[in-house]
Amino acid sequence: MSVFLERVKQALSSWWSSRPRRVGLALSGGAVRGIAHIGVLQVLEEAGVPIHCIAGVSAGAAVGAAYAAGLSPERLEEIALDLRWTHISRVRAPRLGLLDISPLEEYFNELVGHELTFADLRIPFAAVAADIVRGNLVVLREGPVAPAVRASCSVPGIFTPARLDGRLLVDGGVLNNLPVSVARELGAEYVIAVDLLPKGRLHREPRHLIEMLSATIYTLMRATHFEASLADCLIQPLVVRMSLIDFADAPALLKAGREAAYAALPQLQRDLGLAPRR
């Protein structure tokens, strides 16, 4: 009887490990480095890796929402190569932020063609923000998508915070910059996490106030990467020497994302039972 039970156990274990699993993406923040997420998406699509849900914070929320809305990685690359700060922000008199990021909402809606709600997305998606008053993480999964993306991208001190549903929201990366647990809340059984704020020195000394604020905030955000160990597959593009704020680095960021994703493909094919594509 014990031999029979052991064989049943092995058969069930084999079935469980080989069955199709819901795959989720957790996309970190990283300002302009978020363009590397697009390179990762290009390789995942080419390799036939299924994506069933996406959780994103800051730049990861912007890329994740656009992809969940149906924009292809190729279209996202075109957008990234043309993107400038004037598309998504404007200078304002300092009060709660140096730059007003509200133009991001209009720009996002222009890209996807209309005002989308979370219910309209082809892939379940969540944007991660932080309530700066209450000090808690806020997972946005309902209502219009563009304001949620804007809230998740509102780096405190640099961009004005977003008022949404009676809350004052900022970039969720101040509390969790790699939302693996949020991807699991969306139903993911296997989470691919893309981390754009690896440990390492700055590529250069800050040259002005915006670079100084960016470097300070993102250095602090590295401490919120406690969920990296919870990911089933961790992808870390080599972007540490690339700028956080200069869109001129877009081609190099796309390449870094692709290279890191290609390096992760053998693990993904093994874990998810995918046949290598030629």
Q: Cite the active site residues.
A: 58, 171
Q: How far is CA 115 from CA 59, 147, 222, in A?
A: 19, 10, 33
State how far Cα 38 lies from the chain centre. Answer: 10
Cβ atoms of 196 and 37 closer than 8 Å: yes
Q: Is 248 exposed, middle or buried (0-12, 13-18, 19+ CB in 10 A)?
A: exposed
Q: Is 64 helix (H, G, I), strand (E, B) or coil?
A: helix
Q: What is the DSSP letter of 173?
A: G
Helix (H) or strand (E) holding 56: strand 53-57
CA pair distance 169, 187, nearest whole angstrom: 25
Return all residues near 15 (Cβ < 8 A) that are at least 6 apart: none
CA pair distance 54, 48, nearest whole angstrom: 16
Token couple for 7: 């064989």
Token couple for 76: 């996202």
